A and B are shown apart, each in its own frame.
Chain A
Amino acid sequence: MPSAYDQMWEKLNLDLEAHEGLLAVLGKFYGDIYMSQQGRLKGMEYLDFVLSEVHGLRIKELQDAKASGKKVVGTFCVFVPEEIVLAAGAVQVGLCAGAEIGKAEAEKVLPRNTCALIKSFVGFKLAKLCPFIESCDLIVGETTCDGKKKAYEIFAEYSPVYVMEIPQMKAACDRELWKSEVGRFKSTVEELTGNKIAAGDLRDSIHLVNERRRVLQRLNRLRAAVPVPISGRDALLINQISFYDDPVRFTAKISELCDELEQRVKSGAGIAPDGTARLMLSGCPMAVPNWKLPYIIESSRAVVVGEESCIGTRNTRDLVQEGSATLDDMIDAIVDRYMRIDCACFTPNTERLDNIVNMARELGVKGVIHYALSFCQPYSMEAYKVEKALSAAGIPMLAIETDYSMEDVEQLKTRVEAFVEMTR
């Protein structure tokens, strides 16, 4: 069926036929997983709308921004300081992908045993399916893991890629390295946009990104109520969309949604029947439309009340300290905030273990499901340590390793159900 956006997509050099197929599948998948839910918040209509227009209206906005002289910067990682991009007047969008559709194309240039997330974004590019990638003036990679680091070398053959070096430890010299990388990134963005970042710009953007984190923190506090007032899937979707949507509008809309949520919590209403097990997810990020595991969990008499992941608390937990007077101090505040990220690419990364145990206790969960993408070595190796830390705290953990395919759904369901049974 022709779409009003065909012309725009064609201009972006998408494969229109394959793209139409993708949207159809996505729509059906979303309908099955999301629209079938009972008792959803009215505020979720905004998210439904954004998702239905994720390749439409939002791309149109990006194109309009570009037409007005703005630049679009794409990222794959919560290490890229959005404050700097926004301060230079550019737009930042997350490019991580959660669908298997371009896998065959990706495997022509990448080994099969590369994680699904990497294959997905490379596949989206090669199969000409992602209008976000095609809208970007600069794509920022980082050296977080072996797979991404090397995949960017391949990706750079097709798109303008800039790579940030991420330190792997947290000593003073690592902070220094990171600070110099933030400085290099700032110069790059300034050069790209032609805008020199002034203290006032950065102060505003720090506040703006913090506000978005604050509203997501509020969401996380509210969703932890007993009984659970919002499904884990919906909360995940909100986190996912925070990477694509206009930050000002998103923050306002989610703030309204949180008001509604607050009313619901006060009224004592919940979305799941009594006896539904409260669980937490921990590990790799789940990018749109990777809702497989949350859906399996929430169809197994359990509900997800928190995501310890980059599309979750790892992205929202820490704020950049506000109130710095000078540009240098603001940069330092940004550097410090990003150094607190507890990604498994760090060694020994013991703070992640503490964060997980604390979060599980605060949320009062019955168990944790650790989710690692197949071939993601940092997270799958940490799973062993996470399990030990949780078991010392008396919290059971299930380690799942999977990818974006649907082949193991039944098998996963059996394992999740057994785990849920055990936590009772």
Chain B
Amino acid sequence: MKQFQDAGERFLLDASELQDMGKKVAGVYCLFAPVEIVRAAGAIPVSLCGKREKPIADAEKSLPANLCPLIKSSYGYAVTDTCPFFAASDFLIGETTCDGKKKMYEFLGRIKPLHLMNLPYSADEPHALRFWYEEILRLRSFIEDSAGQNINNDNLRFQIRIHNKIRKLIRRISRFQATEKIPVSGSDMLSVMETKSFFVNPEKYIDLLEKFIAEMDAVAVGGFSRFEPDVPRILLTGCPIGKGSEKVLRIIEECGGAVVCMENCSGVKGLDLLVDEEEKDPFLALARRYLQIPCSCITPNTGRLALLNRLIGEYRVDAVIDLTWQCCHTYNIESRIIGDCVENLHRLPFLHVETDYSNSDVEQLRTRIEAFLEMARWSSSAQAALRKPGARFQLSG
């Protein structure tokens, strides 16, 4: 676990060594940025999403207060030059996922070279894939120029295989939480998951993940559980979180819940989507895969419901908490659609929490979450009493 917790520091050390040798670091803000392309040009991607409150006041000097804390934190770090990952980045990749980020990049582009990917929102319409494919090719040219290295198809295919493998391994790690005995806390799982955006060398990272899986296998054999047997099993969905912005996850577990699964960008969103390794044109394969990411910026975002339906069964979920950041319009509006699905289709308790990075509402959140977990516990024991083999499976169908 220590290996995962120190990932950030090690990243900076390793990356700076490689940068001395002429390698470039690409700062990314979103799951939609195809890291395979970055790697295939010999560059190293790193996530720059801001997770702490500290730089927000500085961001608000030029950004409106009515923006989500992730955007304000990200911009605040950049403008105050207080994030070592931002400092280490040679160039940035943004995307037009939401209004706030799209317009924030206009400001960010003044600080570092920024390439903006234009994401279509009607992912199911035929124009979307054509358009996105062109955007992927446009990214390719930008990365090749910025990294000073051309991308050939073989190298890209190699990176596709590597990243598919990483996705599968992390997905497998996440499944340890699906069993009756829950071996690690949601907080620790977040530390593990977070490293997927902070590794320099993919082969070494795969090695680390495989060792961790071996360790976990051993723990699983021993039947160890980090929680009481009747703990309410919570699925956390919504906006991304990370170390520094994990207050809701922390409160859930402090109040006696177990976050067994995170359906968000920091969790398993996108991990099930693999790039087709057989497709003749690897860029097209990437375009197809990335366009399926079930982000709330897509309309209608049916993929998220499909994923949730699967995860609720897979992780034997007792209740769902939807965490959205204040002023994140897309996740906030979508919350009602998610709530309808959880409550009406799965008959499970659902709680929508809208908050920001500050600690001012911690006690209020604790009260709400405690009450909610009470309900979830009741519902979980009621469900357990009623549970017949396979019943959950049908529900999640």
Residues of A participating in the B interface, judged by any CB pair closer than 8 Å: 109-111, 113-114, 143, 145-147, 149-154, 163, 165, 167-169, 171, 173-174, 176-177, 180-181, 184, 344-345, 347-348, 374-375, 377-378, 380-385, 401
B118 in contact with A114 (CB, 8 Å): no
A375 in contact with B66 (CB, 8 Å): yes
A384 to B100, CA, bound (A): 14
Is B98 interfacial (CB-CB < 8 Å)?
yes
Name B112-138 residues within 8 Å CB distance of A.
Answer: 116, 118, 120-122, 125-128, 131, 134-135, 138
Chain B neighbourhood of A150, CB < 8 A:
296, 299, 329-330, 333-334
- Residue of A110, A111, A169, A375 with most partner-chain B CB within 10 A: A111
- Residue of A167, A377, A401 with most partner-chain B CB within 10 A: A377
Is B64 interfacial (CB-CB < 8 Å)?
yes
Name B52-70 residues within 8 Å CB distance of A.
Answer: 62-64, 66-67
Chain A neighbourhood of B122, CB < 8 A:
143, 163, 165
Chain B neighbourhood of A153, CB < 8 A:
299-300, 333-334, 337
Taking CB as reference atom, which chain B residue is nearest A385?
A: B106
Q: List 20 A-B contacts (CB under 8 A).
A: A114-B333, A146-B100, A146-B333, A149-B297, A150-B329, A150-B330, A153-B299, A153-B333, A165-B125, A168-B118, A169-B118, A171-B118, A173-B131, A177-B131, A180-B127, A344-B103, A347-B96, A375-B327, A377-B327, A384-B63
A163 to B301, CA, bound (A): 13
B329 in contact with A114 (CB, 8 Å): yes
- Pick the residue among A151, A174, A347 that contacts B105 (CB under 8 A): A347
A291 to B121, CA, bound (A): 33
Chain B neighbourhood of A380, CB < 8 A:
64, 66
Chain B neighbourhood of A149, CB < 8 A:
121, 297, 299, 330
A165 in contact with B336 (CB, 8 Å): no
Chain A neighbourhood of B126, CB < 8 A:
180
Taking CB as reference atom, which chain B residue is nearest A141?
A: B299
Distance in angstroms from B137 CB to nearest chain A CB is 10
Chain A neighbourhood of B254, CB < 8 A:
none
Is B102 interfacial (CB-CB < 8 Å)?
yes
A173 in contact with B99 (CB, 8 Å): no
Taking CB as reference atom, which chain A residue is nearest B118?
A: A169
Is B246 interfacial (CB-CB < 8 Å)?
no
> What 14 new A-B contacts, CB under 8 Å, besides A114-B329, A348-B106, A383-B64?
A111-B332, A113-B327, A143-B121, A146-B329, A149-B121, A153-B300, A168-B118, A169-B118, A344-B103, A377-B329, A380-B64, A381-B103, A384-B62, A401-B66
- Pick the residue among B66, B99, B332 that contacts A145 (CB under 8 A): B99
A111 to B327, CA, bound (A): 9
Distance in angstroms from B340 CB to nearest chain A CB is 10
B134 in contact with A381 (CB, 8 Å): no
Chain B neighbourhood of A385, CB < 8 A:
106
Is B314 interfacial (CB-CB < 8 Å)?
no
Chain A neighbourhood of B102, CB < 8 A:
168, 347, 378
A381 in contact with B63 (CB, 8 Å): yes
A145 to B297, CA, bound (A): 10
Chain B neighbourhood of A377, CB < 8 A:
64, 66-67, 99-100, 103, 327, 329
Chain A neighbourhood of B128, CB < 8 A:
165
The 4 A-B pairs of least Cβ separation, nearest first, read: A150-B333, A146-B329, A381-B103, A111-B332
If A113-B326, A143-B299, A377-B327 touch, does A151 touch B333 (CB 8 Å cutoff)?
yes
Is B353 interfacial (CB-CB < 8 Å)?
no
Distance in angstroms from A347 CB to nearest chain B CB is 5
A137 to B109, CA, bound (A): 44
Chain B neighbourhood of A381, CB < 8 A:
63-64, 67, 99-100, 103-104, 106
A165 to B106, CA, bound (A): 22
A165 in contact with B120 (CB, 8 Å): yes
Is B210 interfacial (CB-CB < 8 Å)?
no
A181 to B103, CA, bound (A): 24
If A167-B118, A347-B105 touch, does A181 touch B96 (CB 8 Å cutoff)?
no
Chain A neighbourhood of B106, CB < 8 A:
347-348, 381, 385
Taking CB as reference atom, which chain B residue is nearest A399?
A: B64
Distance in angstroms from B111 CB to nearest chain A CB is 15
- Residue of B127, B134, B296 with most partner-chain A CB within 10 A: B127
- Residue of B66, B131, B327, B329 with most partner-chain A CB within 10 A: B329
- Residue of A110, A146, A180 with most partner-chain B CB within 10 A: A146
Chain B neighbourhood of A173, CB < 8 A:
118, 131, 134-135, 138
Chain A neighbourhood of B135, CB < 8 A:
173
* Binary flags per residue of B320-359, CB closer than 8 Å to A gives 1, else 0: 0000001101101111110000000000000000100000
Chain A neighbourhood of B120, CB < 8 A:
165, 177
Taking CB as reference atom, which chain A residue is nearest B301?
A: A153
A347 to B119, CA, bound (A): 12
Taking CB as reference atom, which chain B residue is nearest A148?
A: B329
Chain B neighbourhood of A181, CB < 8 A:
127
- Pick the residue among A113, A151, A169 that contacts B116 (CB under 8 A): A169
Distance in angstroms from B99 CB to nearest chain A CB is 4
Chain B neighbourhood of A348, CB < 8 A:
106, 109
B99 in contact with A378 (CB, 8 Å): yes
- Pick the residue among B103, B297, B326 that contacts A347 (CB under 8 A): B103
- Pick the residue among A165, A171, A180, A382 that contacts B121 (CB under 8 A): A165
A419 to B240, CA, bound (A): 41
Name B80-111 residues within 8 Å CB distance of A.
Answer: 96, 98-100, 102-106, 109
Taking CB as reference atom, which chain B residue is nearest A383?
A: B64
A382 in contact with B66 (CB, 8 Å): no
B104 in contact with A163 (CB, 8 Å): no
B299 in contact with A375 (CB, 8 Å): no
Chain B neighbourhood of A344, CB < 8 A:
103
A169 to B115, CA, bound (A): 13
B333 in contact with A111 (CB, 8 Å): yes
- Pick the residue among B64, B127, B131, B297 that contacts A146 (CB under 8 A): B297
Chain A neighbourhood of B103, CB < 8 A:
344, 347, 377-378, 381-382
- Residue of B96, B103, B116, B120 with most partner-chain A CB within 10 A: B103
Distance in angstroms from A1 CB to nearest chain B CB is 38
- Residue of A163, A165, A345 with most partner-chain B CB within 10 A: A165
Taking CB as reference atom, which chain B residue is nearest A144?
A: B99
- Pick the residue among A147, A165, A384, A401 that contacts B329 (CB under 8 A): A147
A150 to B135, CA, bound (A): 24
A56 to B131, CA, bound (A): 45
Chain B neighbourhood of A113, CB < 8 A:
66, 326-327, 329, 332
Taking CB as reference atom, which chain A residue is nearest B352?
A: A111
Chain A neighbourhood of B116, CB < 8 A:
169, 347
Taking CB as reference atom, which chain B residue is nearest A146?
A: B329
A151 to B333, CA, bound (A): 7
Chain B neighbourhood of A378, CB < 8 A:
99, 102-103
A154 to B104, CA, bound (A): 27
If A111-B354, A173-B134 touch, does A146 touch B118 (CB 8 Å cutoff)?
no
Chain A neighbourhood of B98, CB < 8 A:
146
Chain A neighbourhood of B100, CB < 8 A:
146, 377, 381
A385 to B118, CA, bound (A): 21
Chain B neighbourhood of A145, CB < 8 A:
99, 329
Distance in angstroms from A79 CB to nearest chain B CB is 14
